[in-house]
Each structure stands twice: as structure tokens, then as C-alpha cells.
Amino acid sequence: MQSSPRCCARTRDGGTCRAPARQGKQRCRMHGGARRSGAPRGNRNAQKHGLFTRAARAESGQMRLLLDEAQRLLEELK
């Protein structure tokens, strides 16, 4: 038990975790060595929502120009 590889995770005090690493892993069960732990395959967590795409920014710029022009027209009418 003492010669088994240790978890390489950092603790809050800056040291390393002293728990034994899981078989075939570099982390213990508490630091990500458990089965099915980690991010899902294909990184589904990083999907884009489309708010800052090139097309959305262009549309936003066009709306801003249209609103600025309407504001100038209203100022001229006063």
C-alpha cells in the first residue's frame, strides 16, 4: 500500500494529495480518478449560443445605425 503511486492533485495548502491514485489513473477517487468523471465527450459544455457570432454582430451594428439615424431625424424635427 505504501509503494502505490500517489495522487498528483494539489491541496489547498500547496502540497500534494497523499491518497493512493486509482489503478491506471494519476488521481485518487476524490480528485477525478473515479469512473466516468470529467468532461463529457465532444465537449458539449462549450456549445455556442450564437449571440456573438459574426452575423449577430453585423445585425446589431445595422440596428445601431438605424436607431442613430432615427434619433438624428427626431432631433431635426424639434
The answer to whether 6 and 19 have CB atoms below 8 angstroms apart is yes
The answer to whether 27 and 9 have CB atoms below 8 angstroms apart is yes
Average pLDDT over residues 60-75: 96
Question: What three-state secondary structure class fits 54?
Answer: helix
Average pLDDT over residues 44-73: 89
Examine the pLDDT at 43 and tell me if it is beyond 80.
no
The whole-number pLDDT of residue 33 equals: 77
Of the listed ranges 14-28, 44-58, 59-73, the one predicted with least confidence: 44-58
